[in-house]
Structure 1
Amino acid sequence: MNSPHMRIAIVRLSALGDIVNTAVVLQIIRHRYPDAVIDWYVEEAFAPILTAHPLLNSAISVPLKKMKKTKSLHLLHSTIHELKSRPSYDHIIDAQGLLKSALITHFLKGKVHGFDRQSAREKIAAWFYDTASAIPYEMNVIKRNVLVITEALGITYDENDIINKKPLFELHEKPESLKGEKNIACVIGASWPSKCYPKEHFLTLCDVLPYPCHLIWGSEAERDDAQWIAERSHNAHVAPKMSLRELISFIGHCDLTIGNDTGPTHMAWAMNRASITLFGPTNERMIFPTAINIGIKSPSSVNILKINRDDFSIREINPSTILQKAKELL
């Protein structure tokens, strides 16, 4: 259906980096269908980053992790009831390709589009779709996200739609801690230990970078690592605890972000700010490289279809290599 008032549901529940990288498609949709009603179904923990987004009608929180943790039948039933009670959609798009995201689409009313069986991360998800796109899993993740959604809507696009994007989220007032000279954000954590650049290397790097380094953390263990670095460096500072919306604005005000392959690092690309993403067990498929957004990969080879979480080769990236690239970007 090509009505300018079409109703569109995007299902991309997690993770933070994938949500950030998928948000670029909102600008593409709005350019073609400015009056479309767009709802985004997202895991409860990540909903704040999409709440009140100017290009969305609503961000609908789905408490999957809470249901898994509490095993509450009441929460399960109430969530299913809420999904079933939503108005029907002209297009429902599973931009994740997992069983859990496919199940969410199953309870919504309307035709569902997703990745085909060969393209979905979990093949069983494809059973829930009415139509599907054949998009190789090995393709760049941002391009994959955009393709599955634009193909569902019959929108043609080229890479300039991504390259020339506006910042994907709102930028709020510059924090007091970033007033004055240029600032660098260092994202020291990640979802797996093998994706984390060693704190000792971050210490070396912070001491030779030309501007203050703000250590971004998301857990108490990461905060302890940030404190360890800050106590030993004349140039590193522990960033304050921040909400997701505060974090994306903080990074949006930094002149450079250096970090592991994780959501906060990807925020810099989303906000059109310079970034260096460090890769060990993953690779540059996870970013959209630009003149100011680059990746540095460790010497190991990566099979994206079978990630080796025991690949700690990120430790082999020399801080001097990062410093050289940082100076070029700054």
Structure 2
Amino acid sequence: MKVLIVKTSSMGDVIHTFPAVEDALRNRPDISLDWCVEEAFAGIVALHPAIKSIHKVAIRRWRRKPFDGGTWREMAGLRHALRTAHYDLVLDAQGLLKSAMVARQAGAPIAGFDRSSAREPSATLFYQRKYAVPRDLHAIERTRRLFGLVLGYQPDLSTLASGIVPPAGGLTGVEGKTAFLLHGTSREDKKWPVEDWIEAARQLVARQFTPVVTWSNEAEKRVAEAIAGAVPGAVLIPKSPLAEIAAILGRSTLVIGADTGLTHLASAFGLPTVAIFLATEPGLTGPRGPFSSTLLAPASGKVTPTEVVEEAERLLMLKSQAAA
């Protein structure tokens, strides 16, 4: 049975789908899985070795130039590629109108959430098979339950595995323990103050860790340079392709991150990961992993660097005990 997964974005949402892929592979060895995803996150999907083909969409870019000839050619090319793949089923794991429209291009039966479960109920107008999944569950569990209903099995929710593998590569010239500090995030109110990142990095150096920072835009560059400049021994990685960052991240000893996609990736890699949530509720979309933890800022206070480093040490001890 040939199945196309449609989960186009965001990075965290894509990563949250991997445990459902693992369930499907375990329970339905007769299926093969392809994936349709935003071009920016194709490298993330490629981390799972069982995904056969990856179809790229560029909805965000296409919306900026809806009447451009290149946009129309790319959309036609996507439709042709999906049709010629001859899928038995399309599984829309996103439940949005945009994902339903993409799913429709494959010309195969579409399965997804029912009207009460989808994020955008209008998306269900394009589905031939619809399933109810409670909306008050974590995104990972919702997706696992949906896959199970569509493909005919009961997922074992007592286990959690992503199946993804870091790409080849890593950080060269650095020996010993590394702590990747993921300070960048999309919203100002999600950002931990730079002075707290600096203090956390200093505490990590005192514990024989090498702090690692990088950046993807000018604002993040200023923060990364401030951390590296204030903490002797910290390593500043220049802006790099996602695959290179994923390789370094996947081989880190410890990760501390804001509410951002790479923090979800670290958790999915099974790394000791401390997520710092300042303005969003992690209950339904926070990182989940065997050694991940979320520190939520109280309404009248803040998350301190000491709290973060102590939580990191706790997770490291848990991983060490699990490996013993």
Q: Indicate which of 25, 28, 32 corresponds to 1:33.
A: 28
Matched, 1:62 2:57: yes
Deviation for aligned residue 1:112? 1.0
The share of aligned pairs that are identical, in percent, is 29
Partner-residue secondary structure (3-state), 2:55 = strand
Partner-residue secondary structure (3-state), 1:266 = helix
Q: Indicate which of 164, 167, 177 corresponds to 1:168.
A: 164
Deviation for aligned residue 1:266? 1.0
Deviating above 6 A after TM superposition, structure 1's stretches of 4 or more consecutive aligned residues are none
**Residue type of the partner of 1:190?**
T
Provide the C-alpha distance between the structure 2 equivalents of 1:193 and 1:52, rounded to a whole number of angstroms. Answer: 29
Bigger Cα displacement from structure 2, 220-229 vs 129-138: 129-138
Q: Indicate which of 218, 229, 232 corresponds to 1:231.
A: 229
**Unpaired stretches in structure 2, ≥5 consecutive residues:** 317-324
C-alpha spacing 1:120/1:216, structure 2 compared with 1 (3 Å) = farther
**Residue type of the partner of 1:299?**
P
Give CA deviations for 1:120-179 in whole Å, capped at 9, x if unaligned. Answer: 2222222221222222333111111222222211122112442xx2641244243204x3
Provide the C-alpha distance between the structure 1 equivalents of 2:274 and 2:17, rounded to a whole number of angstroms. Answer: 19
Bigger Cα displacement from structure 2, 185-194 vs 230-239: 230-239
C-alpha spacing 1:135/1:280, structure 2 compared with 1 (3 Å) = farther
Deviation for aligned residue 1:10? 0.5
Matched, 1:20 2:10: no
Q: Which residue of the partner structure matches residue 319 of structure 2?
A: none
Give CA deviations for 1:273-312 in whole Å, capped at 9, x if unaligned. Answer: 1101111222233235455111111124xxxxxxxxxxxx
Provide the C-alpha distance between the structure 2 equivalents of 1:167 and 1:216, rounded to a whole number of angstroms. Answer: 26
Provide the C-alpha distance between the structure 2 equivalents of 1:146 and 1:29, rounded to a whole number of angstroms. Answer: 9
Q: Indicate which of 233, 242, 252 corresponds to 2:240.
A: 242
Deviation for aligned residue 1:191? 1.6
Matched, 1:326 2:321: no
Provide the C-alpha distance between the structure 2 equivalents of 1:219 and 1:263, rounded to a whole number of angstroms. Answer: 15
Deviation for aligned residue 1:272? 1.2
Bigger Cα displacement from structure 2, 281-290 vs 153-162: 281-290
Partner-residue secondary structure (3-state), 1:264 = helix
Q: Which residue of the partner structure matches residue 120 of structure 2?
A: 122
The two structures, once aligned, show a CA RMSD in angstroms of: 2.1
Paired residues of 2:11 and 2:261 also in contact (CA < 8 A): yes
Paired residues of 2:8 and 2:37 also in contact (CA < 8 A): yes
**Residue type of the partner of 2:64?**
K
Provide the C-alpha distance between the structure 2 equivalents of 1:21 and 1:166, rounded to a whole number of angstroms. Answer: 8
Give CA deviations for 1:72-106 in whole Å, capped at 9, x if unaligned. Answer: 44344334433433233222111111111111012
State TM-score, norm by structure 1.
0.86
C-alpha spacing 1:327/1:84, structure 2 compared with 1 (3 Å) = closer
Aligned residues: 309
Q: Which residue of the partner structure matches residue 3 of structure 2?
A: 8
Q: Indicate which of 177, 181, 189 corresponds to 1:186.
A: 181
